[in-house]
Amino acid sequence: MTRRKLTLEYDGSGFCGWQKQAHGTTVQQVLEEAIQKFSGETVTLHVAGRTDAGVHAQAQVAHFDLEKDTTDAVVRDALNFHVRPHRVVVLQAETVADTFHARFDALSRSYRYRIVNRRAPLALLADQAWHVSKPLSLAPMQEAAKILIGKHDFSTFRAQYCQSKSPVRTLDQLDIAADGEVVTIHTKARSFLYHQVRNMVGTLVYVGTGYWTVEDFKAAFAACDRTKGGPTAPPQGLCFWDVTYPQNDPQA
């Protein structure tokens, strides 16, 4: 039995999220079926961070155990053959220690959220970004984002059905930058609450459009009440960006 770590890229617009479910195609389902076709084995994939319907990934990580004696390159190429025509790709397959766990060994996870801020609607990026037609002012958004850095109760940005035992999280990074009409938000933490990133983004956009002041944002955050926060940003702008493990952490 060999444990393999997969680094994955996928377009979430064609999936009902990561996790297998009774109805609808998911990333986990497509990959597990590809493994079965390739090896004849029924496996369970464990992932670093589950993504919702419409959410993308550029470096998602998962692991599974395989009895078949083969190479990492063959695993990668075979899975990429069998997942077609679904828009998911195995970038890399690696043999790892049987103690490795894609979820529990992760030191941090990072996400990118992309907004296109213009009057005209989107054509090319319709499934890859949130179209915000009202002009955004970055300075107040950046000021509000700084409030969230550190260890806090993030209940204001916690979805109603979040199953985490505690709303307390430590946010390591929340950077906002613009390149022309494209506004990019990068955030990093050891773990996130359900819909936390999208709820933070939606509320920051309230500030950027001038609907809220930074003080309004601060008061909403301090309330620790989801009903006091802003809207949930749509899924298509969100991408699971990266996950860090002890062996690739420069500080480890």
Query: What residues are annotated to the active site?
Result: 52
Cα 114–Cα 187–Cα 111 angle in degrees, nearest 5: 60
Task: Give the E-state strand segments of the chain in sequence order.
Answer: 2-10, 46-47, 56-66, 88-96, 108-117, 130-132, 150-153, 168-179, 182-189, 238-244
Measure the CA angle with vertex 246, ends 242 and 247; round to 5°: 90
> Phi and psi for 150 in degrees, rounded to 5?
110, -170
The two structure tokens encoding residue 144: 């509000």
Q: Measured between alpha carbons, how far apart are the two ends of the chain, in Å? A: 28
